[in-house]
Structure 1
């Protein structure tokens, strides 16, 4: 393993950011013990990032994508909000065990050869893709009639998102969420000469038009990741452009948040963001209050649920990990399964780490995170060995890890359906450049 200049520069930059954050938090009056915990975990994250870049020689790898979660976890030890409390021993164990088990298995080498499931010829692949799009368009028409208007024409209304969500068609709406994969699937099929360029552009336009009516940032992010990974699978992508694009996305999200703020109020946006995050310290900046609101408080919610779970000796025995099956068979709506409101990990938004613990305790945290790490390593190697079916699979891992600071997307119907149809469509498709017949 060679430490090249790029890795060295990246490592130094991360360390300098860490030093600045330590100085900054001490300067605004954060307790030294909190800053020490932050510094140690942040340093660990930097070392893990450097290790991943050396091992995989690739900026996007199964370990580097997880480092952001480690960085945010480290920052959560800085208690700027009144809603943040010292972590319980169980919370510390859950977080450390989650990180350790994922990183351990993500760094191991596994046989990357995809298993055989169902091999369709190119015509059947094409037909299936069109059937999914047709079912999505049919569902879209039904839901537009239910809404009473085209959502994109009411995009400025404050309640359009809530109103449309209440009128989604059960089961059929799953075809709408599958549209997030259509641009990537159709691009791969175009590059593998399964469909024409004209067909690819047509499917892309249809998918984008329908999705823009649902205002789902999660679907937009998944679409962006899957399409970017499919594009970079067949084309060279400049790393500098990637970094600039990421920074632009972050700036755009912050700008959207600023636009939602009522500029006619008597307080500044900085004061508003601090109040929303529950921060009394007037020295805290907009950026710090934003990280506290959207990241650190998620870990606080995790801690709160863990304490409630321990106090009540609760075990879910799979109702969180197998949530798609619970949803499919209506087990919760029919009263077969009752989820406690205090332990609703989706509504409480307590990071991805809470679900395994709620279901099976610490042993669940260990085993399930090992599985996540295993899948990340396996799909990454399939991607780099040019298996087209791995494009969406590894993209899904990236999406789930990035969204892990909020909720667990591994156990959602969106992800399960994506993996299922991806396997059917691309299972048996030969490596890039070796079109299957």
Structure 2
């Protein structure tokens, strides 16, 4: 993608600043891919800017999806009404055996288009054929933290000569900080139950020596949690911490069944938790104790998981589901302030990805912006913008998505993706590989 950042001027906006704060009648400008001004006056000498009138709009940072398997858009709708282990063993693993680099590229691009339409600017992905994922991300203009998912089933497995590990190293060598930093390469291990301790320790050593992020599934189901205790005499969090996998650069996906001791350990280590409410509900895995995670001082972001277990890649939907479900399971309407879910979807997600210059409407931060139309009937009236986002907004109300100052989507038009061509390629891929 060679499109240059635009100089944009958003006026008459309700700008969400995070932490429950917002500015009405706001003016926000972007220059050279960064936010250059936030205030209530239009700057002088503004002739270089393209002006966007946000009179009926919520202006906010773009969203972060910090747990995803983007190529699994190709499996959307297979394996319905199954718990996790049957879903994996009976449906997903056999389908994944038929994937090719070309199909992973198409699946990723389909995922990117869906996310861009919903205001997402960056996602964290763990899968395979990751160079194809990186290529698709670079073409679409998004950001992504990409990790080659690693497994080891033999006690004697080492990273030396391990083909998957070699893929991960090659990915780092070829794509780290590609696209002016839009691509970050993480390491990724699937889970405790799909890896042996010796291998995990070696992966952790490589990860920490090279200052890389880590993505891993943790305590997604009760069965996973209990069987780990039977195998090792400790929980998945305790086991993964012992191997060195969990550090302040790690994102632990799910954490549905974590204990109080687990939460204290996650907080001590500085681990981020990726909360995936829709996937956890759909697979009947449970509901993560997010109010306790927050109280423990843990950074919590939002993820969609793969489209096969969701079946959408909408961070707005995750935000809204999370904002509702925790009220229900705790029977406390005030259990978590509504604005916190916005922070999970934006600033907390950027922090999880190691993108401290992103995730917030703030001068000097990257110009990652989502504009939502609040003139739709479902949004009228709007007394509180954070409440509107959590309970009223439809994901299709997104009017504009901007990443690093480049417009990726605006008023129904994709700027970096030929959507009709993508539809054809996705349908062809399904018919060719999965018929």
TM-score by length of 2: 0.27
Normalized per residue, the structure richer in strand is 2
Larger radius of gyration: 1
TM score, norm. by length of structure 1 = 0.26
Between the two structures, name the one with larger relative contact order (CA 8 Å, sep ≥ 6): 1
